[in-house]
Structure 1
């Protein structure tokens, strides 16, 4: 997965910190959503031999707004001050869409989480991005056991 992320990223090259910080938070969230969805799909395919319909149902457990809000709350103390600032910046954005199957507050924190993932992707921090996504999977897996 790391190789894929690095290959995708190298298509445009790592952006400098200043440029990434100037990107719109919802643009970062847009990329973060795609990166996390891809990571989860790959994770599930590696874990099982399920049909696509079942893979989709399982993927939703990880990528839905409520799950991402739970992830970001549990990761809060493990994030740097800068990373938490990015989460808050994404969380506070006014979105053109409204959540269909989520509480507004969960949707906002999920957007913040995706913004952080997009930020890490574009700023070339692939190892940190993978670390956060691995922790995210562990958080949701632990939550499902309860």
Structure 2
């Protein structure tokens, strides 16, 4: 049986703790931002070999706050009660900063998405992280094509 990424990290590096329920929403968003970025970068790289600058531009457009807001709107119907509660805790957290190129609402929604991704990762549920990001991005592409 294959281990989750977080289980492997904890075991191999002899880390204790990392219970997702023990962290603030902003701490969950901190790790969730990195997890979200890894998934998006993997998606971008799957398009084939290109310059690092092109990889960066494409992935940046997919991880910005407005893009994460669109992902949330697409995945919202698929979230269970626990996931929605984590998202709302992240969205409602008071951060000390705001992104330079995002509205306050988009920034807060993006923080909610990142908190949810961090929570699921620390819970050992990368399958759900990937599923939700995939749903969010696929539905977003379908909506763009309908316009």
TM-score range, shorter-chain basis? 0.7 to 0.9
Matched residue SS, 1:76: helix
Aligned pair count?
142
- Offset, 1:132: 0.8
2:128 paired residue number? 128
- For residues 75-86 of structure 1, what are the structure 2 equivalents within 5 Å? 75-86=75-86
CA contact (8 A) 2:33 2:114 kept: yes
- Normalised by the length of structure 2, the TM-score is 0.86
2:97 paired residue number? 97
1:40 paired residue number? 40
Q: Is there any run of 5+ residues in structure 1 with no aligned partner, and where?
A: none
Distance (whole Å) between structure 2 residues aligned to residue 129 and residue 138 of structure 1:
14
CA contact (8 A) 2:70 2:136 kept: no
Matched residue SS, 1:100: coil
- Normalised by the length of structure 1, the TM-score is 0.86
1:22 paired residue number? 22
- Offset, 1:102: 0.3
Q: CA RMSD, aligned part only?
A: 2.3
Distance (whole Å) between structure 2 residues aligned to residue 62 and residue 113 of structure 1:
13
2:8 paired residue number? 10
Distance (whole Å) between structure 2 residues aligned to residue 16 and residue 100 of structure 1:
34
- Offset, 1:16: 8.2
Max radius of gyration: which structure?
Answer: 2
1:115 aligns with 2:94: no
Q: Is there any run of 5+ residues in structure 2 with no aligned partner, and where?
A: none
